[in-house]
Chain A
Amino acid sequence: MLPIIPLLAVISNLQVATPVIIKTTELELEFTARSANQMASFYEARGFPKTMLSILKQQCFITVGITNTSNKKIWLELSNWTFSSAGKPLKREHRDYWKNRWQNMNIPLSKQSTFRWTLIPETLDYLPGEREGGNIILPFTKDAITLEATFATGENKQGKTITINTDKIFCAQDAP
């Protein structure tokens, strides 16, 4: 059985936006936007404090699934992903930013830990056939989000660079 993204499975019963799927000869990416209420119910059920929830509700959550469909190693490095919207850069906060924010708010360690496990790692190497993922958090926007992402390939990252582009990602919104 292929590894599946834990969060995907947990909130799969909830209504979700249609995923954006990008396929190249080497990899497959799936982007699924989660609304504020979807994410809040997941975190609320895990006992997250209200102060944490109110911050999270203001964000744009995208669940990303990545599958290496090639026969060589592929490297995910989120620092090589550039998001923009309406012609302006959209800053994705590093997981350390969230760590510091929660620490400054004295959020219990167990909640900090659970939160981190729902994020996609900053760097990850994918062996042939591997599928892994997690969440990316962006500032909320109603406009379309453009992403340009590059992936190094090969054991020492010296293979061909894979570039993917999309301008079809949207943040999910709850029904009024």
Chain B
Amino acid sequence: MKKPYYYFKQLLLLIIVSLVSSSFISSISIAENVDEINPPFGLRHYDIGKAPDFILNNIDGEKFQLSEARGRWIFLHFWASWCGPCREEMPAVQRLDDIFQKDELEIVMVNTAEDEDTIFEFLAAINVELNSLLDSDGQVTEVWKPRGLPTSFLINPKGEVKYQAIGGREWDKTEYVQFIRRLIATSK
């Protein structure tokens, strides 16, 4: 006959295995419920399905196609130099870019309907290293229909639009950085 100590050990082992399993299962369920992560103030759920694709040149003349940037979260940001909040927000977008690796979060800036010289002078004047795509005739912006300028969209690695932010934000604030980290974690 086995000693009571043996049964105690078996019970303890069972409890440990259960705890580890439940923790593993719960971590999987978080990963599956990305849509249930509540965004911080200023960001709203914006499930419109596949991100409308576009091809635009940046200020260096290089082509960028949105659909080719899948596999990471995209921070798509519409702006114009005449928009005061855009100007105020830009350094925070730069800091957000500094925080994340490009294979986790890629910042894609789209200037709305301004010429190359205006954009170049503006970015140099506010001392940011960010490049920007040129939506010279404003037609890509029309398709995306941001509610105002600036507006940012978060697109998941499958190319689906998930969140929208209107107005300038301090993107390097803990609440936004943690939120984006959680999004990135769910897609790993």
Q: Could you tell me which A residues sit within 8 Å of B by CB distance? A: 1-6, 8-10, 12, 42, 45-46, 108-114, 117, 121, 124, 127, 129-132, 134
Is B169 part of the contact surface with A, judged by Cβ < 8 Å?
yes
Q: Which residues of B contact A130 (CB under 8 A)?
A: 166
Report whether B83 and A6 are in contact in the complex, using a CB–CB cutoff of 8 Å: yes
Report whether B138 and A1 are in contact in the complex, using a CB–CB cutoff of 8 Å: no
Report whether A6 and B142 are in contact in the complex, using a CB–CB cutoff of 8 Å: no
Q: Give the CA-CA distance A117 to B115 in the complex, in Å.
A: 16
Instruction: Please tell me which one of the listed residues B84, B139, B167 contacts residue A12 in the complex, with CB atoms under 8 A apart.
Output: B84
30 A-B pairs (CB sep. < 8 Å): A1-B167, A1-B169, A2-B167, A3-B85, A3-B148, A3-B167, A4-B85, A4-B167, A6-B80, A6-B83, A6-B84, A6-B85, A6-B149, A9-B83, A12-B84, A109-B139, A110-B114, A110-B115, A110-B136, A111-B113, A112-B138, A113-B113, A113-B141, A114-B82, A114-B138, A117-B80, A117-B83, A121-B148, A124-B147, A132-B166
Report whether B167 and A10 are in contact in the complex, using a CB–CB cutoff of 8 Å: no
Is B121 part of the contact surface with A, judged by Cβ < 8 Å?
no
Once A1-B168, A117-B112 are accepted as A-B contacts, the answer to whether A9 and B84 lie under 8 Å apart by CB is: yes
Interface residues of B in 140-161 (CB under 8 A from A): 141-142, 147-150
A132 (CB) vs chain B CBs: closest residue: B148
- Of all A-B residue pairs in the complex, the 9 with the closest CB atoms, nearest first, are A3-B167, A9-B84, A113-B138, A6-B83, A109-B137, A110-B113, A113-B113, A4-B85, A114-B113
Q: Interface residue tally of chain B, by bracket? A: 20 to 34
9 new A-B contacts, CB < 8 A, other than A113-B113, A130-B166, are A4-B168, A5-B148, A6-B84, A6-B149, A9-B83, A9-B84, A110-B115, A113-B141, A117-B149
A3 (CB) vs chain B CBs: closest residue: B167
Q: Give the CA-CA distance A128 to B115 in the complex, in Å.
A: 36
Is B44 part of the contact surface with A, judged by Cβ < 8 Å?
yes
A72 to nearest B CB, angstroms? 14
Q: Give the CA-CA distance A6 to B142 in the complex, in Å.
A: 17
Interface residues of B in 111-129 (CB under 8 A from A): 112-115
B170 (CB) vs chain A CBs: closest residue: A1
Q: Which residues of B contact A3 (CB under 8 A)?
A: 42, 85, 148, 166-168
Q: Give the CA-CA distance A114 to B78 in the complex, in Å.
A: 13
B142 (CB) vs chain A CBs: closest residue: A113
Q: Give the CA-CA distance A124 to B116 in the complex, in Å.
A: 31
Is B24 part of the contact surface with A, judged by Cβ < 8 Å?
no
Q: Which residues of A contact B142 (CB under 8 A)?
A: 113
Q: Give the CA-CA distance A42 to B83 in the complex, in Å.
A: 11
Q: Give the CA-CA distance A124 to B148 in the complex, in Å.
A: 10
B38-82: CB near A (< 8 Å → 1, else 0) gives 000110100000000000000000000000000000000000101
Q: Which residues of B contact A110 (CB under 8 A)?
A: 113-115, 136-138
Q: Give the CA-CA distance A6 to B147 in the complex, in Å.
A: 12
Q: Which residues of B contact A10 (CB under 8 A)?
A: 82-84
